[in-house]
Structure 1
Amino acid sequence: MNDYVTPYEAKKTTPEKIAQHVESGWVCGSDIGLSAPPGIIAALDEHVGEKDLADVYYHTLLDWLPMGAYSEEYPGITGVSWFSGGFARKAVNQGIADVMPSYFRDMPSLIGEQNQIDAIFLAVAPMDEFGNFSTGPSAALSEALLKKAKRIYLEVNNHIPRSVTGPVVHLSDVEALCENHVKLPDYPRPELDMVSKQIASYIAEEIPDESVIQFGIGAIPDAVGLALREKRDLGIHTEMLTESMVELIDAGAVTNEKKTLHRGQTVASFAFGSKRVYDFIHENEALTMLPIQYINDPSIIRQIPSFMSINSAIEIDFFGQVCAESMGTMHFSGTGGQVDFVRGAVLSPGGKSFLAFPSTAKDGTVSRIKAILSPGAIVTTSKNDVNYIVTEYGIANLRGKTLGQRTKALIDLAHPKFREELIFEAKKRNIIL
């Protein structure tokens, strides 16, 4: 058997010394969420500031920790967000960071088209006996990044779960590595309010036994997970593995035994949120972690009968145009996988796509159902792709409905205090009589 301990020790250094490799003009990045290594990133910020580096770019997806790339205190490094968390969102709106418009499924190919990626920094599980490091809960873009990057730097963390499948990095391909055994974030789950529970109840009624599901995190997905516990033989094919999904598996509602693809397997591309999820991933042979270009490919999703996709939105207009990534001109997130799953679910035999959200925002002062989208709002899901819309006031399938029929259905889903105004706007535009 090969001895990997000696070369491991030879490449082991500190986060500070890894950061010192970075030079002005470098383009760097990490995979989604927990892939971003906190020790190296903190050291990189200090290095950029101390050496007065310029034009360093760091690409992220679902940023979860503070970093100089999204802070005005470090002008030498600029963040590029492919899907924003809170730090990137704030920085983009301040004008000190940039965004990359993209469908989630297209991100690996766009990485391959980048002119340069000088270095990637990945948080990984400890090395196995064959010299491999598992990227654990982050399988979305790692494969594409590993192929493109000129240099690979690792931060080994024994709290990172080792996935049985998913990308691996071999020691021989690593420029340098460090160890930083810090606990992963364990985010508190939102309290389920009556609005979320009501929305979830409408969705659950539309999901039959043996369906295959996809959803994310938040109050509404958590409520949907709770509402699905009495279902039987559900399957999971999702970009994001969540705690509510693990709960459905533990409750016996998810068995994956009726799936036509990856029978018996929970299939995901990344995980984020709780220790329970990370523990579920570790060496679990019933979990398949795959790159996002496969997970989110509508041509793959459409092959899965009764595929049920549940996502959120910020607002919708009478035509059924859905904005899920901006508040007017204010940046909020990104397209992510919403359109991937909307299209795939609609094409699936018996499949359905649900876009669910409370009827109002800003403490009930603003209707999310509008005659026209807010000025500058980004259209995420087009009027031609939209399927089921759900608020606490009901559920409506917009596919196959005319503009007038859609408008009437959406007004019925709006908060009662806004319906008269919406009817007035519809009549003024001669949409309804």
Structure 2
Amino acid sequence: MKRLADHLQPGARVFVPGLCGEPTLLLRELAQDPERARGVRFVGVQFPGIGSADYLGLHPEAQQTAFFMSPSVRQGLRERRAELLSLDYPGIARHLQQCPPFDLAIGHFSPPDAEGWCSAGVCSDFLPIAWARAKRRVAQLNSSMPRTGSAFRVHLSELDAAIEADIPLTTFSEAAGGSETELRIGRLAAELVRDGDTLQFGIGSVPLALAGSLTSHRRLGLHTGMVSQAARALDEAGALDPDAPITTGVALGNASLYEWAGRHPNIRFADVRSTHDPTGLAALPRFVAINSAVEVDLFGQVNAERNDGALQAGSGGLPVFAQGALRSPGGRLLICMAATAKRGTLSRIVPSLGAQGLCTLPRHMADVFVTEHGVAQVRELGLDDRAEALIAIAAPEHRAGLEEAWRAIRNRL
């Protein structure tokens, strides 16, 4: 067989990596020969808005098991060709360990070294778990994939097939600069970070703005699901502890970022059983998890998944990072978001989560909330003080309505 696609069979369950580990050769082959996707169930962890893979769009009889909502998965659910599992990252890891073995796992690796070992490069989040339990294993070997010190590597002798194809890795472009709202949020969040803290944050304009406000900090550590341009900015500013390991599962950015991550002596790529281990996170002193949300209510409940009734993503790593931060000695959980949406007409601080939302984090996990209007530290506050603190960081034009709504809620408690 001369193509990766030739290993696909109707009825097979096939694990495909996501993010920068997307099997670019397989996607190119299937675009040219979509019939190979007939009857195949693709399983993988794809982030919405990142990557180009649309396995359901390849063939009307292709199927998919997904963990994040996307337009393709939404259409697949309507057509009964997709299933969406409501699992966070540790739950996905358990699923991959306990589900029936995959008929096929497709990996994306660096070319072999002199001893025949291929590196998983800058993407080690879920592939190592599925790979160990697959009946057959095939690989794309790509010189664009940096060779890293990941704990996961494969030897040529364990591959059922390998094809060399030098195709650029999947990239992600982060918006540069940021709006004044995002810059303000970044500055306020940075004031809560202390020299020597270990940080977790993801991708996007707010983390970039935060990184820009942290450049004068020193001895920061990183333990995060992915490293992006924000991590590189901290590194190049001298804000990171030069002696501390950086633990992550994947790099996400452009080719220059992948080259930086691949040569960085402190970055250690590991799968989610390490990066998202609640016991390990809790053991990190002063672990600060910094994330976003769709909306927050006056009880401190966080909705990070559903907007106006429509699922936008999944819970991902937020629940376990939140647990780790709250259990860490001196740890903090920061939820950072703009105070409004729809050009200021909709408050993202709401009286209570309604039927159109989902509770990603319950109120007993509420800690610190940041908007462009201020900071609400609510972990130890009672009901009324907590609601008052959250109203104070809402947009001024929505505060009176929130106060009135809270009085009505308070009378029914």
For 1:65 and 1:235, the matched residues in 2 are separated by 28
Partner of 1:62: 47
Amino acid at match of 1:69: Y
Determine the structure 1 residue equivalent to 2:377. Answer: 397
> How has the CA–CA distance of structure 1 residues 67 and 231 changed in structure 2, closer, same or farther, with 3 Å as cutoff?
closer
Provide the residue aligned with 1:249 in structure 2: 235
Q: Equivalents in 2 of 1:217, 1:423: separation in Å?
A: 34
Q: Spell out structure 1 runs of 4+ moving beyond 6 A.
A: none
Consecutive unaligned residues in structure 1, runs of 5 or more:
1-12, 258-263
The count of aligned residue pairs is 411
Q: Is the 8 A contact 2:110 2:144 kept in 1?
A: yes
Q: Write the letter of the residue equivalent to 1:50.
A: E
CA contact (8 A) 2:140 2:164 kept: yes
Contact 1:81–1:98 (CA under 8 A) maintained in structure 2: yes
Alignment of 1:162-241 (within 5 A): 162-190=147-175, 191-241=177-227
Q: 1:42 to 1:282 in 2, by over 3 A?
A: same
RMSD: 2.3
SS of the residue aligned with 2:364?
A: coil
Distance change >3 Å, CA 174–CA 55, structure 1 → 2:
closer
Could you report, residue by residue, the CA deviation over 1:274-305 in whole angstroms, capped at 9, with x for unpaired residues?
Answer: 22320122244322111211111121111111
In structure 2, how many angstroms separate the alpha carbons of the residues matched to 1:91 and 1:327? Answer: 20
- The CA deviation at 1:391 is 0.6
Tell me by how many angstroms 1:45 deviates.
5.5
Specify the alignment match of 2:400 in structure 1. Answer: 420
Aligned counterparts of 1:185 and 1:33: Cα–Cα separation in 2: 7
Q: 37-46 vs 26-35, which deviates more?
A: 37-46
Distance in 1, matches of 2:326 and 2:379, equals: 10
Match among 109, 130, 143 for residue 158 of structure 1: 143
Determine the C-alpha separation between the residues in 1 that align with 2:211 and 2:354. Answer: 31
Q: Establish whether residue 120 from structure 1 lines up as the match of residue 100 from structure 2.
A: no
Deviation, 1:93, is 7.6
Matches within 5 A, 1:33-112: 33-44=19-30, 47=33, 49-50=34-35, 53-54=38-39, 56-62=41-47, 64-71=50-57, 74-84=59-69, 88=73, 97-112=82-97
Change (3 A) 1:85 1:234: farther
Deviations 1:88-111 (A, max 9, x none): 567558875332221212322210
Is 2:280 the partner of 1:266? no
Secondary structure, aligned partner of 1:123: strand
Q: How far apart are the structure 2 equivalents of 1:412 and 1:94? A: 45
Q: Which runs of 5+ in 2 are unaligned?
A: none
1:310 maps to which residue? 290
Alpha-carbon offset, residue 400 of structure 1: 1.9
User: Conserved in 2, the CA contact under 8 Å of 1:156 and 1:181?
Assistant: yes
| Structure 1 match to 2:5 | 19
- Structure 1 residues 379-390: aligned runs within 5 Å: 379-390=359-370
C-alpha distance 226-52 of structure 1, shift in aligned 2 (>3 A):
closer
**Structure 1 counterpart of 2:126:** 141
Does the 8 Å CA contact 1:393/1:413 hold for their aligned counterparts?
yes
